[in-house]
Amino acid sequence: MDLNLFNRPEENRLLEAAWTALASVYAPYSGIRVGAAVLTGSGQIYTGCNIENSSYSLTICAERCSIYHALAHGEKSFTVMVVVTDSEQVTSPCGACRQVLAEFAPQMPVLFVNPKGVSRFTVEQLLPHLFLLD
């Protein structure tokens, strides 16, 4: 895969980090591999990957894994996330991930890359009329 898809250097750095995170995927049940990388307001990159479980619903997606990784390091603001998969079947973040991303970064752009191409939406665009408590 071309890892220089974007015009912005930081987005290409995220794509490379997300691609590297594919090496850590644990997906013996679906065989689907997803990597994610999020850039924080402090300039750090945190990666995540999907990690499945024999109790299927305990699976965590790459997107939530990466933002929880960042949150666990005390990060509070998020600038942009890049998600990559080598599966043509996966084209956009799942509903659970949209809700979690909305909690922390409703304005954040999410760049989703699969072998067919790239999509770019903010979390608010992915989850309109989102549910949040004050």
Say whether residue 90 binds ligand THU (CB under 6 A).
yes
Residues 15-54 that bind ligand THU (CB under 6 A): 27, 30, 32, 34, 50, 52
Say whether residue 1 binds ligand THU (CB under 6 A).
no
In whole angstroms, the minimum distance from the beta carbon of 61 to ligand THU comes to 3
Say whether residue 111 binds ligand THU (CB under 6 A).
no
Catalytic residue among 11, 63, 88, 103: 63
SS (H, E, C) the chain: CCCCCCCCHHHHHHHHHHHHHHHHCECCCCCCCEEEEEEECCCCEEEEECECCCCHHHCECHHHHHHHHHHHCCCCCEEEEEEEECCCCCCCCCHHHHHHHHHHCCCCEEEEEECCEEEEEEHHHHCCCCCCCC
Residue 103 designated active-site: no
Please identify, using beta-carbon distances, which residue of 52 and 75 lies nearer to ligand THU: 52
Q: Would you please indicate which residues are annotated as catalytic (active-site) residues?
A: 63
Give the binding site for ligand THU (CB under 6 A): 27, 30, 32, 34, 50, 52, 59, 61-63, 90, 93-94, 97
